Copies of this chain bind each other. A is one copy, B any other.
């Protein structure tokens, strides 16, 4: 078992639960004085990996910012993932993939099997059905990885879909229930639950999340405060991975390590 599920308690108890995003957007690359290219994305990724070591245990490359450069961007991403894992960091590939059958199995192969993009976790979208993600759960059972399924996301316009209800439950609560049920075998399913709204506003309770690993974007630049982690997630807080990207990357090369340390202090580390 090399994946995130098995390792998270150790990571949290040693360096803390924080995850740092690797988001080589045009905006960030420009601020860093790097070219808006695959080469620039690689250089940013390497700098984040260096700064992350011994400060956090988890990094989260945002795949879209590499994908925009096509194959060249994927080559940069392969290097960033491999260097991060080589440095002992767990890698969450934030790709939000979702499909069915053999196609979903192919995405699982891309991100979880031995190969150039092998990661410790993958984010996935359940619109085509929770069970449609089963090929990824299966692959995660084998590799020990975690599949973080989108549940209640941090963006204001999420409600247009996520305020739907199904069999008397909110859609996010239904997704959380399916994750709990699937975790009875394998414990490889996590949830993405954004921190910009209260659980209640997302149609969730603390109990919906208990025992499930939660990836929580929305801290830092998106507005949620790391000092509020316990308030936001209550009894589920100990299984939450708070993720910061822009508030760290915006500090530039020189300020990167200090910005991570500031966030660690907000978590009492």
Contacts and interface: CB of A to CB of B under 8 A. Distances in A.
Interface of A: 23, 25, 27, 62, 64-65, 67-75, 77-78, 96-104, 106-107, 109-110, 113, 115-117, 125-132, 150, 153-155, 157-166, 171, 174-175, 178
Contact of A155 (B74, B97, B129): B129
Nearest to A134: B157
A131 B117 contact: no
B116 A70 contact: yes
Given A106-B64, A116-B70, A166-B165, A101 B155 contact: yes
Contacts of A78: 70-71
A155 B171 contact: no
A153 B162 CA distance: 18
A29 to B, nearest CB: 12
Given A25-B102, A64-B106, A96-B98, A178 B160 contact: yes
A109 B116 CA distance: 23
A224 to B, nearest CB: 15
A158 to B, nearest CB: 4
Nearest to A129: B157
Given A27-B102, A125-B125, A153-B128, A110 B64 contact: yes
B70 A117 contact: yes
A163 to B, nearest CB: 6
A64 B162 contact: no
Give the number of copies in the complex: 2
A103 to B, nearest CB: 5
B155 A161 contact: no
Contacts of A155: 100-101, 128-129, 132
Given A163-B166, A178-B160, A97 B96 contact: yes
B161 A100 contact: no
Contacts of A174: 160-161, 164
B160 A116 contact: no
Contacts of A72: 71, 116
- Among the interface residues A64, A65, A174, which one has the most CB atoms of the partner chain B within 10 A? A64
A162 B116 contact: no
A68 B77 CA distance: 14
Nearest to A131: B157
- Among the interface residues A99, A113, A171, which one has the most CB atoms of the partner chain B within 10 A? A99
Given A69-B115, A161-B174, 19 more contacts: A23-B103, A68-B106, A69-B110, A70-B78, A70-B117, A71-B74, A72-B116, A98-B127, A100-B153, A100-B155, A100-B157, A127-B153, A127-B161, A128-B150, A128-B162, A129-B153, A129-B161, A160-B178, A161-B171
